[in-house]
Structure 1
Amino acid sequence: MLTSTALVLMMTIPGLALFYGGMVRKKNVLATVMQSFAITCLVTVLWFMFGYSLAFSDGGGVNSYIGGTSKFFHHGITTASLWLPGVANIPEFVFSMFQMTFAIITPALIAGAFAERMKFSALLIFMALWLLVVYVPIAHWVWGGGFLGSAGVLDFAGGTVVHINAGVAGLVCALVLGKREGYGTTNMAPHNLVYSVIGASLLWVGWFGFNAGSELAADGLAGAAMLNTQVATAAAALAWMFAEWIVAKKPSVLGIISGAVAGLVAVTPASGFVNPTGAFIVGIVAGVVCYLSAVKVKHMFGYDDSLDAFGVHGVGGVVGALLTGVLADPAINSLGAGASLGKQIYGVAVTIVWTGIATFVLLYIVKALVGLRPTTQEEVEGLDISQHGEVVP
């Protein structure tokens, strides 16, 4: 669990920071990696103070919806405290730290949707509010004894809690903030795809901590989750690559790494419930569907999801969550016997509605407090210099 936790933290810093940092224009690279790094620090402190208790302690009469306050600042947890005594038997400090890394990457993923156009002050306030109002309740609903988990919604490692949650929030952010200055007329090609390949590779490796670690034990199911993760990711990368090759006539580097991430996203909820053939199917479907979503659908509707947070994480998360209900294999995980497409649709729908509405409200609160976007001049100059007073030479 210590190893898995370190791997998941590596997904955000340096993984996501480099993945997103390479895809923006040079004038915004520092601002983009700063977002991932600052969110890591901010969420760590908030999780320690309030998040863990609200997500994973007993909320009493309201436990179906939110946890309690008894473990604020990790009060009462000792080195002898165990998470799920008699079942998982891992130290509660380790469990909290493992879940903290999930709470870190989820808001960091959202930043891809509004890359290159949000004020840093607005980002900090929004992410702090979003963590406590959106992420923490949904984590509790699915994994902390809340109503979605009780209803039989299957999410092994974060299809609803992390990816649909972040993806839908990202789409709302992109719509509320509007398009980047010059979108559609200015060249906004990635400035350094080598950074993005390194970032995607770190995400891929880190994801084994994400998915296999979510078994909370070194056993056969963790091994199945690990193999499923690898198979789905490779299949999705190839599916996106070949889809792009057929449609756009060239297989791009950005395409194959985006496909890999789409596969990682889609297999997340399914990794501990499907067999490797099921994971293979999940990967192929996710690669093709996310390609169409990120490239064709985005252009059709004209929204500016800068780095495809919704196109890959939102859509990929939905694909994976729904296919979990179809492909779950009780021979892999006995909980799969209760899987159904209806239950998965219910989990997806609740997540989308809560995330969508709450994110919209929080953005307008932040807008009233400090404003969301820098001035046009500051955005044209680049967020590196206007927000942080630094540039890449």
Structure 2
Amino acid sequence: MSLSSYPFTVTERFLRYVQIDTQSDPHSDTFPSTEKQKDLSRLLVQELQQMGIADAVMDEYGYVYATIPATSAKPGIPVICFCSHVDTSPDCSGTGVKPLVHSSYDGADLVLPDDPSQIIRLADHPDLAFQFSNDIITASGTTLLGADNKAGVAEIMDAAHYLVTHPEIQHGTIRILFTPDEEVGMGTAKVDMARLGADFGYTIDGETLGSVEDETFSADAVKITINGVSQHPGFAKGRMENAIKIAADILSRLPKDRLSPETTEGMEGFVHPTHIGGTVEQATLEFIIRDFAVKGLHEKEEYLRKLTNEVLAFYPGSSVAFDVFEQYRNMKEVLNQYPQVVEYALEAIRRTGVDAKQTSIRGGTDGSRLSFMGLPCPNIFAGEHAFHSKHEWVSRQDMEKAVSVIVHLAQIWEEKTA
């Protein structure tokens, strides 16, 4: 099978999808957290149905489910799911995205025209060294691009288009799942696993060309609620215990040279404050805790708890609540039980002519939760880089390679079924 002559539609789709604002909201109490995510989901259902995928549907929560029927009569082929998320990060504006295609990249600085101070430099983005002569897609300088994860969405859509229009390709039943709210940690909260009905899955939400990520952080959140002592400031001497200052004292004692995202790499975890707010009487601190091992996760939580108690010892009239919330766990615990899931992905990448790399991700994907929900689900590259920022970029060629990998992977599962 060769896709060399296939007129890929992935770039056309991607440029269309990123212009739809789908930012999620971590402070919302609705699901999905923003209704505008459904704007893209509705479009995807329409396009899937136009391809001939008749059962494509969006449910009340914004999830898109669709089926590409099997073309092989071989019995026992596992049902494979390909999954991406439609939302973009709350960390950077996703309103009014203007995608730009920089043809035949030559290593020169990419100056983003709507804010010329935003410059994508080769020195700051070493992966650009592998993109010479490729077509680089960026935003215009005032928003993120949305390659995380609309590149994955577009790649799955184009792979679906290829499989539907090439019924000679032998494969089993393929399920498609597009999720909302991944960026706020709720991407699988309402997914209907029985309705999905898949045996194994792949999120298409990774970075570098050729990578398969089979290991993620384990993740918890911590909320520290400080109850201080409020007094009229004119009569506060010896009485007031300012909850805001107590919170600031806790933050100031965090180490400057370790345990933070800005000082760690590789397999190192961290303690990361993400929100502070409150009044003299009550203040809250919110953290995310990350480590590849659950033991390390708990050690960091205990460190933060001890630090908090040490600070509160100086404020005898105040109290604190320290709450830990489980977010997700390292999917490698599950994937080690099903080594073929990763092996087939690596083989699919090699069939595209790309060097395959098995890596870890300093983060999480929907696949982390799905793996523990009964769907072993590693993460395959989508080509997205510098995500959650105005410097986000992806190349057309990498997206086309991802489409090819999805098609090859569908075929490999059919071939390997005895």
Structure number with bigger Rg: 2
Give me the TM-score of the superposition, normalised by structure 1.
0.29
The structure with the largest helix share of the pair is 1
The structure with the largest strand share of the pair is 2
Give me the TM-score of the superposition, normalised by structure 2.
0.28
